[in-house]
Chains A and B, each alone.
Chain A
């Protein structure tokens, strides 16, 4: 048991997401800080925002965001400040600039194409409805009489 406790003490004390001492006094600024940090990626984690992450680096970034807010930056300025240092990799919501328009437009364009194809198909079926409604094919007629015989 002693050995186990010793090992446990050797492990770096885990740092959990947003610590009490990070929270800003001003609730409006704190609210903005939380919103901003939900959109920023923890660089050493797997798909976690700095708001959720337990990593020390995420904590540094959270404090940085709050420092910038205290210094009077607007939301956009804070984001620009961090992107300038860490690259667009930190943005969990990719910008719609450059090649990224493909990402943002892919869904709507695909929906339009699919809607077009779907509409053509449905109209085709309903046209066929108009022309075929007249009668049964020979095969169907034979089948029908077979069923009626039973």
Chain B
């Protein structure tokens, strides 16, 4: 019964969304306050209906209602509760429902907290947001209905993919979706502004928190996914340039660009049309990401052909929204003439370079991701584009970005002197170079990744510290002034410093990992990179829904025991799938990563050991970036100022 109510609520939400997409838009055009005001309660109603529907689906998963097809396919009565809940979005239909839930949540928050927006803009934003919801609700209702019942329910389900039964991955999709969908808000604002034909500093100030929030969520989501890959997949890689990963990385890059260009619009009223274009593209790439993941197109052309209906539907959504918005952009871009003026060397110019590098690097990822498909369709070549290509083609952009970051962020608005921006950074630059050189000398002939990475990390982190120190001015009570700096400045410090720290972790892991593969006999110690490991015992045990083989490994250094490690190998009988549970001794300086393999014919077990230097800093850096974003989000000017100072309306004749 609850299931049917959930289905019904979803259909009602679809109806409400259609009304909300049409009426306020017309109302805003005809300037009818009543029609415009409809958007607000409709957004709330829409959110509540979808939330009820999502709750109904989750209820079915929690109670293991095997009369629902989706529950049978993705759950099992013996599965731990956490994964029963996360199973709700661990499948196609449920994840799309979560997508829509977040679209409507963002729409509703815009309605609740958008009181200071001009009514016309608010009505249009909510309409556009609702149009997105209409498209995806239609997608769910017509091609991926999660509420399909089975005529003959089985006794038990087929279990969730065991790789996904993991706390890291349970929360990875919701964060990622919050990020993807958060960009829909920037998109709605962009389209509403295009319809309205007006973009000013106030507009940028409304858009920026949404973009910032989306970027923070994307950062967290990507970091969780990468951390999961690191400890779960069993060889300690953190990024694989898989199409699905790229799908989340491209919106992240564009959101980062948008975040910065919106500052220019807000502070200097320049880069307007570019910012609008970025907002459209960023959401476009979220849709492309959804398309890539949901259609299965890139994993194999055949997976797509098996179920072309869904893929084509999302492609249509992508075409209508991105294409439509771009056409609107082409027709209206000229009304957004820039007002701010600035010199060749200025913070504005530095942010243009930042945007340029981020956007082009995103383009490189896009081309690399799509190339196998293009080559097969147009040139009849079946080929792969893997990590070696991306490492080579993408990394230079990040190096360039890291190089200019401290200089650019030290520049003043309008007109700067390069010499004056660089001067306070001179010691830091020399120190960073010295660190890079030292690292190069110490590692003797191991390539440039390590030294360059350490140089960049030191340069960015120390540059960010100098930047905030500079903001306190000269003499007298600098500490007091430091404490009173706006939160946005602290956010900037953390986000930029976090980027440097992540780069340090990536460089350390990539350049100096040590690997050891061997047959370990019981109680026979062996050495890996200065550590002594002993396989004391191997035991088999039974978990709630799996069978496990656990190795008992003692990790020692210089005769002192550091840790007891328990690498595990699991077999999930229901899903018929093995997984590795690597045992990791976490440490800020290095991780010791142990994986147990198969028993060997002549006794002993295959054991793989990795020493991975600085790895944890990758995720510490990501956490700092996210924290920086949150601090910036809580800055006073977003809470108070948006709309508090009503800018004088500057109507632009809409042709």
Most A-side CB within 10 Å, residue of B234, B388, B600: B388
Tell me how far the C-beta of A46 lies from the nearest C-beta in chain B, rounded to whole angstroms. 6
Are B386 and A49 in contact, CB atoms less than 8 angstroms apart? Answer: yes
Q: Chain B residues near A63 (CB, 8 Å)?
A: none
Instruction: Closest B residue to A121 by CB, please name it.
Output: B352
Quick one: which of B252-275 are within 8 Å of A by CB?
A: 270
CB contact between B547 and one of A4, A15, A46, A107 (< 8 Å): that residue: A4
A16-B386 CB under 8 A given contacts A4-B573, A123-B344, A125-B340: no
Tell me how far the C-beta of A29 lies from the nearest C-beta in chain B, rounded to whole angstroms. 15
Instruction: Closest A residue to B387 by CB, please name it.
Output: A92
Q: Which of B112-120, B235-243, B465-473 contacts A (4 or more CB under 8 A)?
A: B235-243
Determine if A57 is an interface residue (Cβ-Cβ < 8 Å): no
Determine if A20 is an interface residue (Cβ-Cβ < 8 Å): yes
Most B-side CB within 10 Å, residue of A4, A46, A89, A103: A103
Are A46 and B388 in contact, CB atoms less than 8 angstroms apart? Answer: no
Are A100 and B383 in contact, CB atoms less than 8 angstroms apart? Answer: yes
Instruction: Closest A residue to B648 by CB, please name it.
Output: A143
Are B343 and A129 in contact, CB atoms less than 8 angstroms apart? Answer: yes
Are A114 and B342 in contact, CB atoms less than 8 angstroms apart? Answer: no
1/0 per residue, CB under 8 A from A, across B391-432: the answer is 011000100000000000000000100000000000000000
Q: Chain B residues near A135 (CB, 8 Å)?
A: none
Are B547 and A5 in contact, CB atoms less than 8 angstroms apart? Answer: yes
Task: Tally chain B residues at the interface, Cβ within 8 Å.
Answer: 63
Determine if B382 is an interface residue (Cβ-Cβ < 8 Å): yes
Are A41 and B344 in contact, CB atoms less than 8 angstroms apart? Answer: no
Quick one: which of B89-122 are within 8 Å of A by CB?
A: none
Instruction: Closest B residue to A91 by CB, please name it.
Output: B384
Cα separation A113 to B606 with both chains bound (whole Å): 53
Cα separation A123 to B518 with both chains bound (whole Å): 62
1/0 per residue, CB under 8 A from A, across B352-381: the answer is 110010011101100110010001001101
Tell me how far the C-beta of B381 lies from the nearest C-beta in chain A, rounded to whole angstroms. 7
Q: Chain B residues near A103 (CB, 8 Å)?
A: 367-368, 371, 375, 385, 389
Determine if B655 is an interface residue (Cβ-Cβ < 8 Å): no
Are A122 and B235 in contact, CB atoms less than 8 angstroms apart? Answer: no
Are B356 and A115 in contact, CB atoms less than 8 angstroms apart? Answer: yes
Instruction: Closest B residue to A127 by CB, please name it.
Output: B341
A99-B344 CB under 8 A given contacts A41-B384, A93-B389, A94-B389: no
Are A133 and B341 in contact, CB atoms less than 8 angstroms apart? Answer: yes
Determine if A132 is an interface residue (Cβ-Cβ < 8 Å): yes
Most A-side CB within 10 Å, residue of B363, B383, B387: B383
Determine if B153 is an interface residue (Cβ-Cβ < 8 Å): no
Q: Chain A residues near B371 (CB, 8 Å)?
A: 94, 103
Are A18 and B517 in contact, CB atoms less than 8 angstroms apart? Answer: yes
Determine if A145 is an interface residue (Cβ-Cβ < 8 Å): no
Q: Chain B residues near A61 (CB, 8 Å)?
A: none
Tell me how far the C-beta of B246 lies from the nearest C-beta in chain A, rounded to whole angstroms. 10
The main secondary structure of chain A at its interface with chain B is helix
Cα separation A98 to B518 with both chains bound (whole Å): 43
Determine if A76 is an interface residue (Cβ-Cβ < 8 Å): no
Tell me how far the C-beta of B254 lies from the nearest C-beta in chain A, rounded to whole angstroms. 14
Determine if A75 is an interface residue (Cβ-Cβ < 8 Å): no
Instruction: Closest B residue to A99 by CB, please name it.
Output: B379
Are B270 and A125 in contact, CB atoms less than 8 angstroms apart? Answer: yes
Cα separation A142 to B196 with both chains bound (whole Å): 25
Quick one: which of A94-133 are within 8 Å of B by CB?
A: 94, 98-100, 103-104, 106-107, 110-111, 114-115, 118, 121-123, 125-126, 128-129, 132-133
Interface pairs (19), CB distance under 8 Å: A4-B547, A16-B598, A19-B517, A47-B242, A52-B235, A88-B381, A89-B384, A92-B384, A94-B371, A99-B375, A99-B379, A100-B381, A100-B383, A107-B397, A126-B341, A126-B344, A128-B341, A129-B341, A129-B415
- Taking A15-B598, A92-B384, A111-B356 as known contacts, 6 extra A-B pairs with beta carbons closer than 8 A to each other, sorted by chain A number, are A11-B578, A16-B234, A16-B597, A107-B360, A107-B397, A125-B341
Residues in chain B within 8 A of chain A (CB atoms): 234-235, 237, 240-243, 270, 299, 338, 340-344, 348-349, 352-353, 356, 359-361, 363-364, 367-368, 371, 375, 378-379, 381-389, 392-393, 397, 415, 517-519, 542, 547, 569, 571, 573, 576, 578, 580, 595, 597-598, 600, 606, 608, 648, 650
